[in-house]
Amino acid sequence: MQEKRFILDCIAGKTSPDNLVDYKYIFEISKKNRISPLIYNRGIKNNKVVNEDIKKELKRQYYINSIRNMVFLKELKKINKKLKQNKIEYFVLKGLILAKKIYGDYNFREQTDIDILIKNKKNIEQISNILFSMGYFYSGKIQTYNYWKKFGPHIVFTKDTAGFKVNLEIHWLLLNKKNNPFNLREKYLLKNPSTETIGKTEFSTLCDEHTFIYLCLHMCYQHAFRTVLRDMSDIVNMTDSINLNWEAIIRDSKKWRCLTFVYFSLKKVIEIFNLKEYSPIINRISYNKKHLLLLETRFPESIFEINHKSYIKDFIYYLKLNENLTDKIGLTYQAAYYLVEKIRKNLLKQKL
């Protein structure tokens, strides 16, 4: 289908034929996968054959995203200042910093939240008080604040400002599951930082190689392939715009027991985007056959559709990936605790 090829070419920064039939389909898929700003700038903005109504709507979405990003950046600068004043070490994950680096313009990527990784979990109470003083409040859905502190990798705060909802995730772990099959060491990641500047403000972030590994894990494990097109867009543009040290990526992925996930992500990028220049790299990567089979089975039939969250399917997927009995017990306990919290909250709602 030409429309799908057009979307993939826009993501990869390639030119595509203009004589397409269904630009409405391109518009709907772009909006659904939250890649509209990128598709608009790379394939629609200067395209003379696109329906004007569709072009106007994509342009409108692009400007809304640009305003939202300005609001997010303003908040990030305030948070950066407050945390530095209180001598709290932190790193920005993905978001505006990544977008500027791999797309050349942070407005090309749609942001949904701000992700921060803190060096010390003990700072969470102090950070919470700082954020409360800035107008943020805890944003729990089913889980309570104490649940996240006990089991979670992060706590979510939110704030309404300038007509936008700013969601802020304060992470002390990179991944959503405490009991995961990896040997990730956040303290090691934070010893190899990178500094990026937006305007006159400097932000600390993960080095490029660790960011790439994180993006692969984010797609395969954290998101469990729910938003493949958006996640792959970041991976493709990172490989294209940055001269990555593949030896370091392979070495650290092996050390952290996530080499199969990096292999699988690159394999899919090569297949879907026809980027054969990366074939020699995956030929150097060894992988876990059991994990690879699980990833292949879980990977969606269509990357153009959003695969909605299913707690039961996700639980089974995570359970199968974990070979350690202690981790399996931990995941089961966490799932049971989550279920109890959900029932308790529903009962409280009924009483009210």
Q: 16 versus 318: which is more confidently predicted?
A: 318
Residue 332: pLDDT over 60: yes
Residue 46: pLDDT over 90: no
**Number of residues in the chain:** 352
Q: Report all structural domains of the chain as residue ranges with CATH numbers, in order of start.
A: 2-351 (3.30.460.40)
Q: 48 versus 150: which is more confidently predicted?
A: 48
Contact 322, 175 (CB under 8 A): no
The token duo for 67 is 């305003």
- For residue 262, with 0-12 CB atoms within 10 Å meaning exposed, 13-18 middle and 19 or more buried, which class applies? buried
Mean pLDDT of 149-168: 88
Window from 100-114, 219-233, 329-343 with minimum mean pLDDT:
329-343
How much is the CA Rg of the chain, to the nearest whole Å? 21
Strands (E), 111-214: 114-118, 137-138, 154-161, 164-171, 193-198, 201-206
Q: Of all helices (H) and strands (E), which one includes residue 223?
A: none
Q: 331 versus 40: which is more confidently predicted?
A: 40
Neighbours of 264 (CB within 10 A): 23
Residue 342: pLDDT over 60: yes
- pTM strictly above 0.85: yes
Cα–Cα dist 6/156, whole Å: 36
Give 246-298 pLDDT, tens digit per residue: 999 999 999 999 999 999 999 999 999 988 888 999 999 999 999 999 999 99
68 CB-near residues (< 8 Å, 6+ apart): 111, 164
pLDDT at 273: 93
Mapping DSSP to helix (H, G, I), strand (E, B) and coil, where does residue 242 land?
coil
| Of 101, 154, 109, nearest in space to 127 by CA | 154
Neighbours of 137 (CB within 10 A): 12
- For residue 315, with 0-12 CB atoms within 10 Å meaning exposed, 13-18 middle and 19 or more buried, which class applies? middle
Q: 140 versus 13: which is more confidently predicted?
A: 13
What is the DSSP track for 18-85? S--S-HHHHHHHHHHTT-HHHHIIIIITT-TTS-HHHHHHHHHHHHHHHHHHHHHHHHHHHHHHHHHH
| Of 182, 195, 142, 197, nearest in space to 309 by CA | 142
Mean pLDDT of 87-110: 92
- pLDDT tier, 66 (very low <50, low <70, confident <90, very high otherwise): very high
Mean pLDDT over each residue of the chain, to the nearest integer:
88
Give 165-190 pLDDT, tens digit per residue: 999 999 998 886 667 888 887 777 77
Residue 54: pLDDT over 80: yes
Q: 349 versus 93: which is more confidently predicted?
A: 93
Residue 141: pLDDT over 70: no
Contact 250, 285 (CB under 8 A): yes
Partner residues linked to 116 by β-bridges:
92, 170
| Of 78, 44, 80, nearest in space to 61 by CA | 44
pLDDT more than 90, % of the chain: 55
Q: Of all helices (H) and strands (E), which one includes residue 349?
A: helix 325-351
- Integer distance in angstroms from the first to the last C-alpha of the chain? 52
